[in-house]
Structure 1
């Protein structure tokens, strides 16, 4: 049973919001030990493996890597371990396109038809609309069978053929809709303009000038190059199906580290990559609006620019506070906790607010014993599907083993019954089983005892 849900997060305007008014800390040993303990606590409770970094102005004030980069080889993540950053790639692509505009290689009002006339409505679609996600072009990651398709290398022509016959979702400029296809096309356009690969353009225009030694675009994950492998957290770490990033050109294929990304963000917001005029064009003007590879949201009185990403179970996030010159970045290769909570912990750390260690052995409604009776990994009778039930410190959470299965928080109804949206899950602790009711489908999972 495939329980698919979009990535959910703490509401950024809820009571959890913090107002940042204190002075950003310099690195303090006592503070660092406390936040080190927090991340060690996440790893030891099977909630997260990954790497994080906080920057203030042009300096890294905190960095931490934890968990395995390669479980089988027992290789641990370190601060130079590279993670796939998913859609944060779009921020880099937005910069590259605006740099091409500054170099007078194209204009924002140029039409897609000059490069790919075969795309529906290409004569109406501008470069600006591609950047702002206002084209109506069908999102290729939503095509049925894309999970299997993306595991193999595909040429640019094969990529185009994969989505080209899908109908447009709306007239160009009429609406906003996030589509990975828009940024894949921007990457192809850059390659036409420079007569170089996206990897070469990225390295020449951004990575080399900023000395980002751990940032690049490549097609395949290679643990021998200190790249983290993606896992799902079950009763063991389950390696995800492998993605070939030729299928995420300029939309989701970059590998990087939190330290490198913080350096990139500082350079971007301090006009070391492009002019102040170009940066103004890139940034969204209103909350909830998509700029050119970047979002914005308010945190109390503070303005934050951000983007997240996910491919396989590589989750990534950055928050940048331009007024405070503060950058917060986290990358994961396995996660079973709301990442916004971690971003808040890192942000609070920068303002000398220390984290509390969540208790993952219970929920507010269940005692330690009641939780222990139902937690763990369950399997269907044919062993083809599995799911893990755990606590995130606040909710009972369910996570399927599929490579794109986000964990979902379950709403308490009684000691054995929990719900999420239209899904009901009933536990039978004596039989060590759970039953899922979704639409008209009923499926039973049992624990190994």
Structure 2
């Protein structure tokens, strides 16, 4: 019962943020030990496996890898382990499209009909609208059965056939709506104008000029190449479903490392890939606005450019402070806390403040004793499904075992009742059970089933 689907949001919480000191730290040993302790704490509490990096100007000032890249072979994540970066791919694609415009291969006002006239409203949709997520084209990742469809290789024509009959959600240019299809189409357009594959274009225009040795596009994950496998977090780690990334072309298929993503961001913002005029066009003007593969948000007086992503259970996030030349990158192959919490801890560390170690044994409403009665891993009677209940330090977290199952933070209603949108969890601690109510579905899970 895969009850949740992932949707991208360009808005960041407006919660209080520490006032940052004026000076970014170097590599003080005492500060490094404190941030190391933060990540050791996450790993010890089964909250994250992955890799992170902080860059100041063009130098990496902190890296940390934790957990396994491949649990079966006991291969550990290290600073060179590569992760699928999900929708951060869109920032790379946005830069490639603007590079193509600089090279007179494309124009922002070119119509989609020049390349794919079969797409609905193609004669009205421009390259600019695809980049800004204002085309109205249906998001292919929301098509029923997409989780199964994406497991197999598909050609460009098969990809087009998969979404082509879906109606547009609105008239082009009239609204904003995030759609992975927009960037998939941009990748196909790049292939047409350059007469090369997306992988070749990425390598020629970005990876080689910036010397990104661990950044590329391929169809399948290969742990023998030090590529991390993604996992769901249960009472143990469960391997996530296998995706063929031919189905996430220029929208979510790139493989990289936190160090390489930071190098890319520095190169992008310092005109090593596109010129200053193109960068200005690419960047959003307002907070919460989607630019061309990049968003913008404000925390206190601090201005960040950002994109996050998820594909399988690879979660990714970058924050870039252009005025300070500070880059924060988080790539995870297993996680059940918000990546923004990790990004915030890294930013705080960069300004020589100590990150807080969350208490994962309680929630904001439940004490350690009360939460202990309901946390743990639960199973259906046939043992085909399992759910792990944990805490992110504030809210109750639900993590299912099924392929593609997102973790979700539920809202407290009463001591034993929690809700997320129309879904309700009701716990019975004395029976070691909870019941999930979703639409017409009612299902009981029991803890510690033998």
Band the TM-score falls in, shorter-chain normalisation: over 0.9
Distance change in 2, residues 1:362/1:9 (3 Å): farther
* Alpha-carbon distance, 1:5 to partner: 5.6
Name the structure 1 match of 2:117.
117
Distance (whole Å) between structure 2 residues aligned to residue 447 and residue 147 of structure 1 = 28
Distance change in 2, residues 1:182/1:393 (3 Å): same
Matches within 5 A, 1:95-174: 95-174=95-174
Name the structure 1 match of 2:358.
358
Name the structure 2 match of 1:187.
187
Is 1:131–1:291's contact at 8 Å kept on the other side of the alignment? yes
Of residues 191-200 and 296-305 in structure 1, the stretch that sits farther from structure 2 once superposed is 296-305
Distance change in 2, residues 1:243/1:209 (3 Å): same
Is 2:16–2:300's contact at 8 Å kept on the other side of the alignment? no
Runs of 4+ in 1 over 4 A off after TM superposition: 5-11
Of residues 33-42 and 433-442 in structure 1, the stretch that sits farther from structure 2 once superposed is 433-442
Asked if 1:90 is matched to 2:124, the reply is: no
Distance (whole Å) between structure 1 residues aligned to residue 119 and residue 66 of structure 2 = 44
Q: Secondary structure at the match of 1:250?
A: helix
Is 1:8–1:338's contact at 8 Å kept on the other side of the alignment? no
Distance (whole Å) between structure 2 residues aligned to residue 200 and residue 367 of structure 1 = 54
Name the structure 2 match of 1:14.
14
TM-score by length of 2: 0.96
Name the structure 2 match of 1:336.
336
Distance (whole Å) between structure 2 residues aligned to residue 15 and residue 136 of structure 1 = 31
Q: Secondary structure at the match of 1:54?
A: strand
Consecutive unaligned residues in structure 2, runs of 5 or more: none
Distance (whole Å) between structure 1 residues aligned to residue 411 and residue 164 of structure 2 = 41
Is 2:349–2:355's contact at 8 Å kept on the other side of the alignment? yes
Is 1:396–1:411's contact at 8 Å kept on the other side of the alignment? yes
Asked if 1:392 is matched to 2:392, the reply is: yes
Consecutive unaligned residues in structure 1, runs of 5 or more: none
Distance (whole Å) between structure 1 residues aligned to residue 300 and residue 368 of structure 2 = 36
1:205-250 CA distance string (max 9 Å, x none) = 0000100000000000000000000000011111111000000110
Is 1:93–1:183's contact at 8 Å kept on the other side of the alignment? yes
* Alpha-carbon distance, 1:9 to partner: 9.0
Asked if 1:434 is matched to 2:434, the reply is: yes
* Alpha-carbon distance, 1:407 to partner: 2.0
Distance change in 2, residues 1:179/1:402 (3 Å): same
Q: Secondary structure at the match of 2:49?
A: strand
Distance (whole Å) between structure 2 residues aligned to residue 156 and residue 236 of structure 1 = 37
Is 1:5–1:408's contact at 8 Å kept on the other side of the alignment? no
Q: Secondary structure at the match of 2:90?
A: helix
* Alpha-carbon distance, 1:93 to partner: 0.5
Name the structure 2 match of 1:414.
414
1:73-131 CA distance string (max 9 Å, x none) = 11110000000000110100111111111111111111111111111111111111111
* Alpha-carbon distance, 1:286 to partner: 1.4
* Alpha-carbon distance, 1:152 to partner: 0.2
Distance (whole Å) between structure 1 residues aligned to residue 88 and residue 234 of structure 2 = 27
Distance (whole Å) between structure 1 residues aligned to residue 10 and residue 432 of structure 2 = 32
Name the structure 1 match of 2:201.
201
Distance (whole Å) between structure 2 residues aligned to residue 294 and residue 8 of structure 1 = 12
